[in-house]
Amino acid sequence: MRNNPSINPGKRALLSPMSSIPIAPSVTRRHFIQLAGAAGAGVLGFPAILRSQAPNRRLNLAIIGVGGRGGSNLAGVAGENIVALCDVNAKNLQAAAAKSPGAKQFRDFRQMYDALKDSEFDAVVVSTTEHTHAFATLPALKRKKHVYCEKPLTRDVHEARIITEAALAAGVATQMGTQIHAGTNYRRVVELIQGGAIGPVREAHVWVNRTWGWQTPEEAKQYDRVSTQERPMEAEPVPPELDWDLWIGPAPFRPFHSVYIPGNKWYRWWDFGNGTMSDLGSHYNDLPFWALDLDAPLTIEAGGPPPHPEIAPATMNATYHYGPRGNRPAVKLVWYQGQLKPPAWTEKLIPPWPDGHLFIGDKGMLLSNYSKHVLLPEKQFAGFVPPPKTIPDSLGHHQEWLHACKTGAPTTCHFGYSGPLTEANHLGNVAYRAGKKIEWNPKTMRIKNAPDAERFLRRTYRAGWKLA
């Protein structure tokens, strides 16, 4: 599938529908656009719901997950009317309720949805762990409620497609929590790349220093605070404030152990997350995805230590090949995490930034990270005048979404964009776990050359949990 050059990155179309594997006949891009128009173009960034509401109206929000990132997201929407709070941790729930004393309180978001009438809430903020994102998000979309969901959008490829399509059908305002996307630096980089400052880009590299995954105690001392190697056999007492069964959710049950929580520990385990790729890939791969108008890769191959059956790698790389898109040439995108870096970095051809992006074009290079960028070689670009700003500055990632809920204005990380981004990131881990180069068909959701790798596209849910 190729991108229509008339569709800008903020109006990206969906791939093909998916409710199960194998999949029904795919939706063509033209048909998708027609469907999106009929639905109010919700996943294209233009919600159909509340289009006539006053922009200063306070929304009624239900907040699922109020600790950690949930607490930050709650602060980001604090000006609205918080009508419901949900968290598996009673301490988190108590702290949030103290700031929103009128809100109804729940431990299980399934019970929250059953209890709330449609008239009681307009939108939902999801900040659970990765493995329950889709379960907390889908009921809201089916009830045509606006959704802000933390990154990554889902735990696997299958769930990403389901959520993306549900957003299309709902026609509501959606936003994935990639706050860096709202920064001015990313916008300026996109303008430079799409404006041709370094010519056609045929190669891009993305690297992050974080090592969340399988590593020895010695490596952990140097690169990370956590050494994770095997699932613990012993159980620890469950903290009294935690509903461990609800935290486990759709994942296979296991006894409680502090190796899984709190904070970023769960990212390392395949049952709950997807390691560094899933987390920082949402932020760092976002920029080339946006600037180069990427969608579904043709092939993906990955390298690193032998895959562990339960734990994501601390160090790995993944190489994506994308076909031509409109007037843009085919491009190779390479991801590096942990101790790996691109050749230009190791050969000291660029400054040794610990994290960054390197775009290689026919006329030069662009090096960037979250907050800054530089055109290289610097002598070649002495006196370079940047193109005029074409991408408006963001209201703020949360405010952009809230404004969209109330007015129908576009969002930039809506699920029609962030869904395919999430799929691509997950496919890097699929190729790594498969141990071979995979050829991806986004329409059929099949791996043409390695059907045995398709088991990594989705998971089996624990009894009592169903994504429907």
Residue-wise pLDDT tens digits, 99-155: 999 999 999 999 999 999 999 999 999 999 999 999 999 999 999 999 999 999 999
pLDDT of residue 53: 57
Arithmetic mean of pLDDT over the chain: 88
Decide if 90 is inside a domain. yes
Say whether pLDDT at 7 is over 60. Answer: no
pLDDT exceeds 80 at position 27: no
DSSP state of 288: H
What mean pLDDT do residues 435-457 have?
97
- What range does the domain containing 86 cover? 9-182+396-420+450-456
What is the rounded distance in angstroms from the CA atom of residue 358 to the CA atom of residue 366? 6
Q: In what order do the strands lie in the sheet with 356-361?
A: 373-376, 364-368, 356-361, 201-208, 331-337, 316-322, 299-303, 438-441, 446-447
pLDDT at 215: 80
Does residue 14 register a pLDDT over 60? no
pLDDT above 90 covers what percent of the chain?
81
Look at residue 222 in the predicted model and tell me its pLDDT. Answer: 72
For residues 74 and 447, the answer to whether their CB atoms sit within 8 Å is: no
Q: How many CA atoms, within 13 angstroms, populate the side-chain half-sphere of residue 236?
A: 12
DSSP-assigned letters across all residues of 116-144: --GGG-SEEEE-S-GGGHHHHHHHHHHTT
pLDDT for the residue numbered 264: 81
Q: How far apart are CA 283 and CA 421, in angstroms?
A: 10
Query: Residue 360 phi/psi, 5° resolution?
Result: -110, 115
For residue 213, the model assigns a pLDDT of 83
Confirm whether pTM is higher than 0.85: yes
pLDDT at 223: 67
Rounded CA-CA distance 334/284 in Å is 12
Our count of domains for the chain comes to 1
For residue 33, the model assigns a pLDDT of 34
Residue range 355-372: mean pLDDT, rounded: 98
CA 303 – CA 462 distance, rounded (Å): 31
Q: Please indicate, yes or no, if residue 84 is contained in any of the structural domains.
A: yes
Measured CA to CA, the distance from residue 358 to residue 428 in angstroms comes to 19
The string of pLDDT tens digits covering residues 313-328 is: 999 999 999 999 999 9
Tens of pLDDT, residues 164-189: 999 999 999 999 999 999 999 999 99
Domain-embedded: residue 60? yes
In a domain, 297, yes or no: no
User: Does the residue 441 lie in any domain?
Assistant: no
Q: Residue 109 domain-assigned?
A: yes
Q: What's the pLDDT at 225? A: 66
CA–CA distance from 119 to each of 78, 84, 86, 409 (Å)?
20, 13, 18, 22
pLDDT at 56: 75
The one-character DSSP state at 463 is T
Q: What is the pLDDT of residues 287-305, one digit of tens each?
A: 999 999 999 999 999 999 9
pLDDT at residue number 228: 75
Q: Are 318 and 431 in contact (CB under 8 A)?
A: yes
Task: Kindly tell me if the per-residue pLDDT of 397 is higher than 90.
Answer: yes
d(CA 140, CA 112): 11
- Domain of residue 401, CATH code: 3.40.50.720
CA–CA distance, 369 with 186 (Å, rounded to integer): 8
pLDDT of the residue at 13: 35
In a domain, 110, yes or no: yes
